[in-house]
């Protein structure tokens, strides 16, 4: 195999790799957007011991810049916003979920 043939093969494989990475990145971004849509606006009950234990709040946004958010900002009833780890709160049922089960 000549050097030119080898370079063409390397460029072809490089192109295939770039296409594969783009597809994976697009898929990860879509999953991220769906997660944000699912989580933002959800009511939560803070379960971890501390000054906010037992309070209900609403998730306003995620904290960080990763595609796999671990920390979220939660708006509390008093209007303040606090950063909480995903393991420090429990998601409460959606308002529309409870109303649809009551009407059935």
Q: How many CB atoms lie within 10 A of CB 47?
A: 14
The residues, any chain, with a CB within 8 Å of residue 76's CB and separated by 6 or more, are: 52, 55, 57, 82
pLDDT for residue 90 is more than 90: yes
How far, in Å, are 13, 68, 78 from residue 74 at the CA level? Answer: 46, 17, 11
The H or E element spanning position 58 is strand 56-63
Q: Looking at residues 8-14, what average pLDDT do you find?
A: 92
Highest mean pLDDT among 21-25, 64-68, 93-97: 21-25
**pTM more than 0.75:** no
Domain ranges of the chain: 1-38, 40-104
Residue 97: pLDDT band by 50, 70, 90 thresholds? low
Cα separation, 42 vs 66, whole angstroms: 20
Residue 35: pLDDT band by 50, 70, 90 thresholds? confident
Q: Looking at residues 88-100, what average pLDDT do you find?
A: 75
Give 40-86 pLDDT, tens digit per residue: 999 999 999 989 999 999 999 988 777 778 899 999 999 999 999 98
**CA dihedral for 34, 40, 43, 46, sign (positive or negative):** positive
Location of structure tokens 């501390």 = 50
Which CATH number applies to 40-104: 3.40.50.11900, 2.60.120.260, 2.30.30.140, 2.60.260.20?
A: 2.30.30.140
């Amino acid at each position: 195999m000549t050097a030119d043939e080898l370079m063409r093969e390397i460029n072809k494989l490089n192109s295939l790799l770039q296409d594969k990475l783009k597809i994976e990145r697009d898929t990860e971004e879509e999953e991220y957007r769906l997660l944000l849509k699912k989580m933002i606006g959800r009511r939560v009950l803070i379960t971890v011991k501390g000054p906010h234990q037992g309070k209900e709040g609403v998730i306003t946004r995620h904290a960080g810049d990763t595609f796999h958010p671990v920390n979220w900002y939660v708006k509390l009833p008093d209007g303040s916003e606090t950063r909480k780890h995903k393991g420090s709160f429990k998601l409460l049922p959606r308002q529309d979920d409870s109303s649809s089960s009551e009407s059935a």
